[in-house]
Amino acid sequence: MERRQIVNNPSQKVWSKPLLAGAFTFLLVVIIGFIILWQRYQIMIETRQREMSGIINVVEQNIEQSLKYSYSAALSLALQINEDGEIEDFDNIASQLVDQNSNIDGIETVPGGIINQVYPYEQNKAAIGYNILADSTRNAEAQIAIEEKKMFFAGPVELRQGGYSVIGRLPVFIKDQFWGFTAVLIDFNKILETSGIEQFSAGDYKFQFAKVNPETGEEDFLLDSIQLDHSYSEEVTLPEGDWKIYIVPDKPNHIFYSLLPVSVLVLLLGLAFAFLVYRFMKQPQVLEEQVRKKSGELAASELRFRTIFNQAAIGMVRVDSTTGMILETNKRFQELLGYTNEELQQMDYRMVSHPDDITDNTQLMSKLRENQLREYSLQKRLKRKDGKTIWIKLNVSPLWPPGEPATSHIALIEDISAQVKAKEKLEENEKRFRSLVENTNEIILIINRRGEVVYHSPSLKKVTGYDQLETFGNEILSFIHPVERSVMLKKLEESYYAEGVPFSEIIMRFKAQQGHYIWMSATLTNMLHEKNINGYVVNLRDISGKKEAELNLMKSYDFVMEQNKRLLNFAYIVSHNLRSHSSNFESILELYDLEDDQEERQNYINLLRDVSASLNQTLVDLNEVVSINTNLEIKAEEIQVWEYTEKALAVLSLQIESMNAKIINEVPENMKVIFNPAYMESILLNFITNALRYSRPDTVPEVHISAEKEKGRWVLKVCDNGIGIDLEKHKDKVFGLYKTFTDRKDSRGVGLFITKNQVNAMGGEVGVESTLGEGTCFKVFFK
């Protein structure tokens, strides 16, 4: 029964045939060996991919930073364009933008698609007058910028003025109408220099830039052609210009080839084990023959081991586990350290190890000798013969059976200096980025799907005064000024469907801790798809100073334009009136010289006195106008308009009684405005006096004084039933100096002119409504 069981056991059948047992052993060893090789291959591929990803991210950040600076320059120039589509002092502004930004080489204004202004002028003047939109070979990318209403980087192209540059065009819209572009020129070689690819290209990688042709949709490669094998490459897309950056290993199959010798070793070991099994299963021969054959096999095995040992692609060392002395080394290890085998055999492992790494290695070796470990791995540094240091990955395995005294061990050494340097560079970049985030004035927020702030940068307190923003739901919107709140909400909704797309230049006011609002420029990016972020990233930059300067600039511009208008008008008036008086003097004196009759001469003297009096009155009027327009420090205070109206009526009471005029004062007693008291008296007296003076002879004069609020500001009305003014004929002359509309001799045309200047000087406006023969109504709109 026992013999029958042995015969029927399948495994016993296999092992009873030496050739079949050898084949089975060979397959088993090869399968196990290649599984280990495959895992090693995958680890090395993943390591290289992580290194490539880290390098390409650094290049991407450098290029994006360079393009942001270019975008800021184009935007700064666009902000200088006024409503008429012009830029004052272009050369000064452009020189500051170009000279202070090393990332750009030139700047242009392109109204209507035609290059109009350039800086520097001498280098770029050949481009002036060039119509971008009319050039079918160049206008596609310009049309993209107009359609998407954002900056688009075209090129690199050969410029009309010479050179090879990238052109960033920012479309400018005035009153929702396309005006043109502000453009920046960036030398393509400068982009390559700032990206850092020259530094990385000196290693084991190559780079390629590609530009998507907007007409064909195909990629145009910008650098020397290299083979793009996507299974070994890493690519990054820059949306601002439909660019792609590729990084490709210089030797894409290096990892595969580096493992070929090991695979050969696996095959040889499989054959060796198969052969041993085969020989073991062979029928025994005489003892002498077995000893001879075994000796031959051992010699062959030793030879094969020596060959594999010396030709291995990784460093291999056999070390005395008791003393630490190096017993033998292979060629790869000798190449790594620069020593010969004889020199290394006179050294122990401590002499080639970095001093800081000896302790860890010694502790692990002690545990190995005491059979507490059967193998260990360690990353450490070795000192080369030339004094340089390299990083290695050390794998150690004992060469004695478990539980027996230590003899020697084998160490496998893999050079990982490149990976360590790449990792250190990534960590350095990360530290630099963290330092920038912690020290910049720009606030970085991360908002989750519910609108709650889950992260804020340290600059939050410095800029807004808040230690943190505690929000629930969409309460983050409560910090935004109500006027801009709907804009931010709309951008959040748009961003939800545009993952990874930044929505920049969102101008809004943000409420600070003390209650006041700060002007901010926000950039919103949906990063919900990123596991490490899982939210919206909001970059906030304080632009209060810039915004206030912009508002003050607009106010100053309006003030200067108004002052220029007044000065031109005043110069015309002075020239006209003084010339009239001088002509009268000249004519009368000529007649006086020609006249012999003393009585006629006396008449001419009387005429001179009249002209002199008129000239004096003109000078008095002009002096009063000048005093209003040049008084930059007009004192204003809160006054009760009803009280000043009563004072004006009291001053004119005799005139009112003599004309039997009817005065209706319906000015609210709660009407209070910030105004100059003297100007208020003058305005009321002028309007009421004019209403009485220009009344109709056949009608009882009636003056109605009232006030009401319109759109949040007070409006004073002085209406009469007098002779009225023909506004169709005199509308533009009502408030002009020396403009009269009746035949009355006491009409000088000064009062309304002075009144308008007084109202304007206080930031208000004055208007008139009138019908000829029915009456006039003057309105004062207070600031």
Q: Specify the pLDDT at position 632.
A: 47
Model confidence at 6: pLDDT above 70: no
Position 624 confidence tier, pLDDT thresholds 50, 70, 90: low
In this predicted model, what pLDDT tens digit does every residue of 241-255 receive, in sequence order?
A: 667 777 777 777 777
Handedness of CA 362, 363, 368, 373 (dihedral sign): negative
Is 753 exposed, middle or buried (CB count within 10 Å of its CB: 0-12, 13-18, 19+)? buried
Q: Specify the pLDDT at position 325.
A: 93
d(CA 159, CA 744): 72
Average pLDDT value for residue range 590-608: 78
SS3 for 731? helix
The interaxial angle of helices 641-651 and 677-693, nearest 10 deg, is 50
Is 171 exposed, middle or buried (CB count within 10 Å of its CB: 0-12, 13-18, 19+)? buried
Lowest mean pLDDT among 112-116, 234-238, 661-665: 234-238
Q: Specify the pLDDT at position 734.
A: 67
Lowest mean pLDDT among 19-33, 59-73, 509-523, 606-620: 606-620
**Higher-scoring residue by pLDDT: 238, 67:** 67
Work out whether strand 517-527 and strand 535-542 pair parallel, antiparallel, or are unpaired.
Answer: antiparallel
Q: Specify the pLDDT at position 640.
A: 93
d(CA 762, CA 360): 83
In this predicted model, what pLDDT tens digit does every residue of 710-724 receive, in sequence order?
A: 888 999 999 999 888
Report how far apart, in Å, the C-alpha atoms of 460 and of each of 436, 439, 542 are: 14, 11, 11
d(CA 337, CA 382): 8
**Are the beta carbons of 152 and 168 closer than 8 angstroms?**
yes
Token pair for residue 441?
């004035």
Lowest mean pLDDT among 277-286, 340-349, 503-512, 748-757: 277-286
In this predicted model, what pLDDT tens digit does every residue of 148-178 receive, in sequence order?
A: 888 888 777 778 777 778 888 889 888 888 8
Model confidence at 532: pLDDT above 90: no
d(CA 298, CA 285): 18
Work out whether strand 672-675 and strand 243-249 pair parallel, antiparallel, or are unpaired.
Answer: unpaired
Q: Which of 297-311, 373-387, 470-484, 589-603 has maximum average pLDDT?
A: 373-387
Is 310 exposed, middle or buried (CB count within 10 Å of its CB: 0-12, 13-18, 19+)? middle
176: left (phi over 0), alpha (psi -120 to 50) or beta: left
The interaxial angle of helices 18-78 and 254-281, nearest 10 deg, is 170
SS3 for 763? coil
d(CA 600, CA 749): 32
Is 425 exposed, middle or buried (CB count within 10 Å of its CB: 0-12, 13-18, 19+)? middle
Strand partners, 570: none
Report phi then psi at 103, rounded to 5: -85, -15
Model confidence at 391: pLDDT above 50: yes
CA torsion 650-652-654-655 (nearest 10°) is: -160
The span from the first CA to the last CA of the chain, in angstroms, equals: 121
Residue ranges with strand state E in 257-388 = 315-320, 326-329, 376-383
659: left (phi over 0), alpha (psi -120 to 50) or beta: alpha
**Are the beta carbons of 240 and 151 closer than 8 angstroms?**
yes
Model confidence at 237: pLDDT above 90: no
Q: Specify the pLDDT at position 740.
A: 54
Residue ranges with strand state E in 399-501 = 408-415, 443-447, 453-456
Q: Specify the pLDDT at position 8.
A: 47
Q: Specify the pLDDT at position 153.
A: 82
Position 4 confidence tier, pLDDT thresholds 50, 70, 90: very low
d(CA 649, CA 665): 9
Residues near 347 by beta carbon (within 8 Å), at least 6 away in sequence: 325, 326, 339
Lowest mean pLDDT among 225-229, 503-507, 673-677, 778-782: 225-229
Mean pLDDT of the chain: 79
Average pLDDT value for residue range 124-140: 82
Q: Specify the pLDDT at position 580.
A: 46
Q: Specify the pLDDT at position 383.
A: 92
d(CA 46, CA 141): 38
**Are the beta carbons of 613 and 646 closer than 8 angstroms?**
no
CA angle at 202 for the pair 196 and 205, rounded to the nearest 5°: 85
Work out whether strand 408-415 and strand 389-398 pair parallel, antiparallel, or are unpaired.
Answer: antiparallel
**Higher-scoring residue by pLDDT: 742, 177:** 177
In this predicted model, what pLDDT tens digit does every residue of 547-569 receive, in sequence order?
A: 777 777 776 676 667 666 656 55
Radius of gyration, CA atoms only, the chain: 47
585-611 core/surface letters (b: 16 or more CB in 10 A; e: else): eeebeeebeeeeeeeeeeebeebeeeb
SS3 for 2? helix
Model confidence at 572: pLDDT above 50: no
**Higher-scoring residue by pLDDT: 92, 4:** 92
- In what order do the strands lie in the sheet containing 219-221? 219-221, 205-212, 243-249, 234-238
Element (H, E) at 742: none
Report how far apart, in Å, the C-alpha atoms of 724 and of each of 150, 738, 741 are: 56, 18, 9
**Are the beta carbons of 673 and 782 closer than 8 angstroms?**
yes
Model confidence at 373: pLDDT above 60: yes
Is 572 exposed, middle or buried (CB count within 10 Å of its CB: 0-12, 13-18, 19+)? exposed
The interaxial angle of helices 254-281 and 287-311, nearest 10 deg, is 170
What does the longest C-alpha to C-alpha distance in the chain come to?
Answer: 177
In this predicted model, what pLDDT tens digit does every residue of 662-709 receive, in sequence order?
A: 999 999 999 999 998 888 888 888 888 888 888 888 889 999 999 999
Model confidence at 290: pLDDT above 90: no
Model confidence at 285: pLDDT above 60: no
In this predicted model, what pLDDT tens digit does every residue of 35-87 receive, in sequence order?
A: 888 888 888 888 888 877 888 787 777 777 777 778 888 888 888 888 877 88
Token pair for residue 95?
């020189």
Percentage with pLDDT > 90 across the chain: 12
Handedness of CA 633, 635, 638, 640 (dihedral sign): negative
d(CA 178, CA 340): 75
- Residue 757, Cα to own-chain centre: how many angstroms? 46
**Higher-scoring residue by pLDDT: 620, 316:** 316
Strand partners, 519: 509
CA angle at 497 for the pair 496 and 502, rounded to the nearest 5°: 70
**Are the beta carbons of 212 and 218 closer than 8 angstroms?**
yes
Position 544 confidence tier, pLDDT thresholds 50, 70, 90: confident
Q: Specify the pLDDT at position 733.
A: 62
SS3 for 140? helix
Model confidence at 437: pLDDT above 70: no
Percentage with pLDDT > 70 across the chain: 78
Position 657 confidence tier, pLDDT thresholds 50, 70, 90: confident
Model confidence at 229: pLDDT above 80: no
Report phi then psi at 445, rounded to 5: -120, 145
d(CA 9, CA 769): 122
Model confidence at 621: pLDDT above 70: no
Q: Specify the pLDDT at position 145.
A: 80
Q: Which of 418-427, 580-589, 737-746 has maximum average pLDDT?
A: 418-427
Report phi then psi at 428, rounded to 5: -65, -45
**Higher-scoring residue by pLDDT: 462, 332:** 332
Q: Specify the pLDDT at position 235.
A: 61
Model confidence at 742: pLDDT above 60: no
pTM: 0.33
Lowest mean pLDDT among 19-28, 564-573, 724-733: 564-573
Is 714 exposed, middle or buried (CB count within 10 Å of its CB: 0-12, 13-18, 19+)? buried
d(CA 722, CA 775): 4
